[in-house]
Amino acid sequence: MGVVQRERRHGVATGVVLARSGSERLPGKNLLPLAGVPLLDWVVRAGLAAGLDRIFVSSDDKAVLAAADRLDQLVGRVLAFERSERYARPWSSDMGALREVTARLDADEVVVHLRCTAPFVRAADIRMVVALLTDKGSPEWSV
């Protein structure tokens, strides 16, 4: 899990899950089940359990965006974000894709990059990172 931090906004923390389609080694990996639950669901639920105010799911994959909408209907605070073609290429950087989402956010939010392929991330770890960014004024942390 990486963290991109901007100015602080009274403790508001937003998660961003990057879930590009087109994996060559494991096609459709973002929605593959682990113990019967799609990878995307694991990381979104951890972010919500950590108290993130909202989670954007950035993808160029219609199935992933539909899954994000389904999660929003089930648990709320999940927003599907259709990634531009510029950031949907195999060589596109995570930072570019993160900037595409964060450009639409308030400049003073804490933004947590949640990796869709890290289903074992714990809510406690996410809370710790947000607390460090918010309370200690640390410029950047990664877990």
pTM recorded for the entire structure: 0.85
Per-residue model confidence as pLDDT tens digits over 110-123: 899 999 999 999 99
Instruction: Report the residue count for the chain.
Output: 143
pLDDT band at 133 (very low <50, low <70, confident <90, very high): confident
Nearest alpha carbon to residue 13 among 142, 122, 134: 134
Maximum CA extent, the chain: 41
How many angstroms separate the CA atoms of 110 and 127, rounded? 12
Sign of CA dihedral 5, 92, 18, 24: negative
